[in-house]
Structures are given as C-alpha cells and as structure tokens.
Structure 1
C-alpha cells in the first residue's frame, strides 16, 4: 500500500497485514521491503505504550537499505489478537520471546536481526538467549538488558521507597497493580491528553530530562532522584503524575516527531483495546521466575542505542555496565543520541537509522 489515512504519517512502501498461527496469536504487522528478491529480515519490537506504528519513521528507510523490515503489534497490543488478558502466564517474558521466534518462522525465515525498544529490548534479549541460532544481530534501545529473570523492582525496594518522605513507589510496581488498567483507560484528562503528557514528559522536549545521568547507587534515596514518571509519589496515578506536564497548544503544534494526527492514532488504538494486555507484561514480572536459558550470555553482535536525555538508561543502576561487560560477549558499543529522550527512534530517526544501517551492514 501507499499512504494510508488509517495510519497517519506512514511512508510509501509500507503495508499492514496479519500473520496467523504465531504461538496462538494472529499478529498484525507493518512491513516494508517485502517486494522483489528475498532480503535479510529485521524484526522491530516495540515497548510501552507503543505499537508497531512506533517504528513508522524507520521502516521504509531500512527497507531502502536492503532489508525486509517487520514491526509487529506485540501480545496484548494493537490489532494483534488471540491473547487472553486473564492468562497472566502467557505474558511472561519467556513466552513473549516465543512470540518473536514464532513470527520469524511464520514469515518464512530461519534467521533475523532483532531491534528492541524499551520493554521490547528485554524481549529481544530473551529471544536471543532462547535461540541464538535465529538471531544474526541484536540492537537494544533505551532499556539496557542486564540478564534474564530479574524484575526491576522488588517488594523490599518498594517498602524502602514508601518509607521516604514523601512516600514513593516504582512505576513498575504501579503498572503491575490491579488498578493501573482502570486508571489509564479512565484518565480524567482523556486518553489522548494522558498519552500526550506521558510521551512529552519522557522526551527531550521536557526540561527535566536534560540532566539525565547515572545514579550514584541503588538505594531508595538514589532511585528517588529519578523523575516522577519512574519513581512516582505513592498514592498518585500515572495520569495524575503526568497531567501537570501536558505541553501547551503551541508546544504540541511544534512537536514534529509526534503530531496531533499521529498521537490520535495511539489514542484510538488504546481506546479500543485498553491497557490491560500491555500492563500484563509488568504484572507477569511478579510471577515466579520464568525458565531461564541455560547460558545467560548473549554471543551475537550487539549494540545499544538511546537518547542522551533518557533517564531510562540509568533506572536500573549498573544495568548498562552489566550488559556491556558481562551479558553481551560481542558488545559493539553504546550510542547516546543528542536531543533525544526515551522515544529515540521517533525523536531522532535519522541518527537511529544511520547507526542501525552501519551496524547491520557489518553483521
């Protein structure tokens, strides 16, 4: 298809379709580079609260560089169907990895380059460990992968955060709770304004991200240095947390990386599907540890890309170092892109594309 009004901002040469029988799912994908001779597969895995659509700015250019590029709506998201939100076990990270491996096979490939953003970075790491024969290279974005089977926030940590003055709580603890789904879908400001404020507050446009830096340690007091969208005030919902930071009409009009039309697509999709499926990814972290691969090391060519104004790089103290020095034995380096926050492939797609193209050409 060409430009599709249903997917605003989607470039020429990108199509939307479904792939059946993927680990029990009917997976919706956006893809480019599907015409002509067979090309190497690049699989793009989104995070929260994102969609296949979050890769809209890099799909066609990566295809122009010689790849078959596929971005799925992952389990519980968007137009992918077949998941049951009451089956929490199916949202464990090991099963999300099986989804990715199943999609590679369903597309007719036995090998793919993986690119994961945010929680998708964790899924990409798990997928590589689950079957490294399938993965030609691994790019993790915005969220370092420091190993398998570890939730980022424990009960003990949240007890320590609640003991602070004022009391705080980790956002993953909130997202894993029983009320967060209703909080997000019932945001007093409406879904569109909630998402606009959330995206804005985690981007380079929000002044509080300009000094993103490594934390001095991993205590509750250290983690409390993170912005409120990571370590929230206890008893305050995420819509309430981000509401005061809704950008002005002028700021929204000037936001070239996420237009109101593009934001409207996110709002419609999450308004239709609601948030419980995506939040189940966090709830599943509270289950007994998933079966870890026998070898915890990643031995394929690996790189890390993030925005320089992204606190997410540092939210797990020591995570970036552990990924580079322990987990990934063929780590090629980290690139922190200026003038980008957490949504790096949307905020600075040209810089991301340049790095991805170089890396993929070398692997």
Structure 2
C-alpha cells in the first residue's frame, strides 16, 4: 500500500520508510535529490493530516537539492499510537517528539536540520528548536505562530472561556472524549475528515466551526470537500482507521504535560532564521495571534498568503515560491553528513 500511494500522490523520488525511535515505530517519507545534497529538511504535519500533506512542497525541496524527511507524527498513519491511559500523555509531548527527532537525525547521520511545520507541526518545530538548539539551523512555519512557554499554567478551558482564544473552542471538543466516542468506524472517520477539510451541506452549512467544533449531526449530509479528490480522501480514511482517532486527539490533551516539561527550559528566544507564513483567512490560527513573534524571534521573516488554514494545498505555488526564495536567501550550500 505504501508504494501504491507514493506512485499515485507523491514524487517518485520519495519512498516510505519505517524505524524505531526510542522504542516507538515511526513511518516517514524519505526523499533524496539527485546530485550533491544542500541540507536536510524535516517536515511536520498537523491535525487531521499526514506526512503526505506536504506532497506539493516535497518536489520543490528536492529540486533545490534538499534531502527531505517527513514523519507521520505519533498517533497518525503508520506510526504507532500509544493509548492514554494506560500509557502516559508524555508520549504526545513536545519534549518527546524532540527526542524522537534527535534520534531519527542520528540514525540518518545528520547533525543539522532545517525544520518546516504546519498546524501542530508548526508548534512542534518551534519547540524542537528550544529543546535542541544545536540541531536546528532554520525554521519555516505555515499558519502557526510562535507562542513562548509560560511560567504559569492556564488550562485550555480557561483560555477559551476567558475570551483570549475563542477560536480554540473546537479544541475543547477534541480534548474531551466526545468526538472519539462518536467517530469509530472507517466510514465515520471519512465523514469527519471530509468535514474538517471544508465539506459543507448543499445549503452551505459547514461541518466544522472553530468555536464549537465538529457538527456531528451534519456529517452524513456534507457534500465532498473541494480540497482533495475521492481517492486521496479514501487514503486518509484508511490511514486514520488503522488506529482510530484516539492518538491524534492526544495532541490536544498534552497542555499540562508540556507546561511541566517546559519549566526546565532556560531560553525561550528562537535565534535561528524563521519564516512565518500567515494565512489571511485562517479562522483557527488567525494572523493576529502572531503579534508577539517579533520580540521573541530576532531573525523573523513574515509573509502572508490570501487563503484559509489548508494553505499548503489551497495555494501551493505561492507557498512554495515564498519558501523557495527564503531558503535561497538564508541558506548556503552545506555538505551533507549522509
């Protein structure tokens, strides 16, 4: 199945690989360019996505001479999905993914990497840079602003109900058990994904709202999303059905764990060059959330695309051009350690 989806949806230079990272089996995409290697780029997806969410960007990065590594995150696709409980929510923490990325880089013989992220993947790349500053040379994040670790804990419920981030209301639904209990079968998962990728009823009612979450009663009535074809949606549904949605939702249950871990961080300024691409119509991560980034990232480049949250798919050429030009400007030819 891995080779089938690579042939259909991905660049032929990309292969699917598996490895164990600190005791957990991961699946990741691996693409190696022809000729000399410029540097290595690790790409991280968010929810409800997979590593192939970067399918429009990977060919461009390979053409530029970058080796590309894109994991299915913990809980997603062919990567293991520890159940919580009995396992600890720490499996889904930023500290854990940083340790796993460090191990993957070691296995690949890479000592320095460029990080790219979207959605949760954007949050992940900033945290990897905090935990492993010696590993990271550059960061680009699509849609996701950098929010520095806090010295005082505020629950997600407090943040939403206080009005600080009403756009995170959907996360309360995802962090609870309600959605997980309602979405069990492969068919239900497919309907859920269709809603999250923009499916709407015939009279225009959406299947998802950032303030309230998934509109479960509407799922069977939604028309097919315009963001992906039937076969790609089927592939996503198959991948999510492998372990269900439990593991993927644990990323919304890890706030307190991350807070406790990050009390050990001594520096919250990101000093490597960072490209932040905001999507002007993103309701989940509106550009206004990025106001404080300039104070926290000395070498910050800001760009915008006039699109919604799924910018990687909606405006791939514009996103690719921004990333390509920034990488050309901020990186130099680096000898690969592979």
Task: Give the alignment's TM-score, normalised by structure 2.
Answer: 0.84
Alignment of 1:115-194 (within 5 A): 115-148=116-149, 154-159=156-161, 170-185=169-184, 190-194=188-192
User: In structure 2, which of residues 243, 248, 270 is the aligned counterpart of residue 298 of structure 1?
Assistant: 270
User: In structure 2, which of residues 300, 304, 312 is the aligned counterpart of residue 336 of structure 1?
Assistant: 304
Unpaired runs of 5+ residues, structure 2, are: 331-338
Q: Distance in 2 between matches of 1:299 and 1:24?
A: 31
Deviation at 1:68, TM superposition (A): 0.3
Over the residues paired in the alignment, what is the CA RMSD in angstroms? 3.1
8 Å CA contact 1:93–1:290 kept in 2: the answer is: no
Q: Residues 184 and 306 from structure 1, CA distance in 2 versus in 1: closer, same or farther, beyond 3 angstroms? A: farther
Q: Residues 308 and 82 from structure 1, CA distance in 2 versus in 1: closer, same or farther, beyond 3 angstroms? A: closer
Cα deviation code 1:94-117 (max 9, x no counterpart): 222222232222221111110010
What's 2:327 paired with?
360
What's 2:334 paired with?
none
Unpaired runs of 5+ residues, structure 1, are: 210-226
Q: Residues 69 and 177 from structure 1, CA distance in 2 versus in 1: closer, same or farther, beyond 3 angstroms? A: same
8 Å CA contact 1:29–1:71 kept in 2: the answer is: yes
Q: Residues 45 and 242 from structure 1, CA distance in 2 versus in 1: closer, same or farther, beyond 3 angstroms? A: farther
What's 1:219 paired with?
none
What's 1:25 paired with?
24
Q: Residues 306 and 242 from structure 1, CA distance in 2 versus in 1: closer, same or farther, beyond 3 angstroms? A: farther
Alignment of 1:77-88 (within 5 A): 77-81=76-80, 83-85=82-84, 86-88=87-89
Deviation at 1:177, TM superposition (A): 1.2
What's 1:212 paired with?
none
Deviation at 1:244, TM superposition (A): 8.1
What's 2:223 paired with?
247
User: In structure 2, which of residues 198, 201, 204 is the aligned counterpart of residue 200 of structure 1?
Assistant: 198
What's 2:73 paired with?
74
- SS of 2:291's equivalent? helix
- SS of 1:71's equivalent? strand
Q: Residues 302 and 326 from structure 1, CA distance in 2 versus in 1: closer, same or farther, beyond 3 angstroms? A: same
Alignment of 1:189-268 (within 5 A): 190-200=188-198, 229-232=209-212, 238-240=214-216, 243=219, 246-247=222-223, 252=225, 255=226, 257-268=227-238
**The 10-residue stretch of structure 1 (133-142 or 76-85) with the greater mean CA deviation from structure 2:** 76-85
Deviation at 1:132, TM superposition (A): 1.5
8 Å CA contact 1:14–1:32 kept in 2: the answer is: yes
8 Å CA contact 1:122–1:145 kept in 2: the answer is: yes
Task: Give the alignment's TM-score, normalised by structure 1.
Answer: 0.78
Count of residue correspondences: 320
User: In structure 1, which of residues 306, 311, 326 is the aligned counterpart of residue 295 of structure 2?
Assistant: 326
8 Å CA contact 2:31–2:68 kept in 1: the answer is: yes
Q: Distance in 1 between matches of 2:19 and 2:280?
A: 36
8 Å CA contact 2:45–2:51 kept in 1: the answer is: yes
User: In structure 2, which of residues 242, 246, 250 is the aligned counterpart of residue 272 of structure 1?
Assistant: 242
Deviation at 1:126, TM superposition (A): 0.3
- SS of 1:140's equivalent? strand
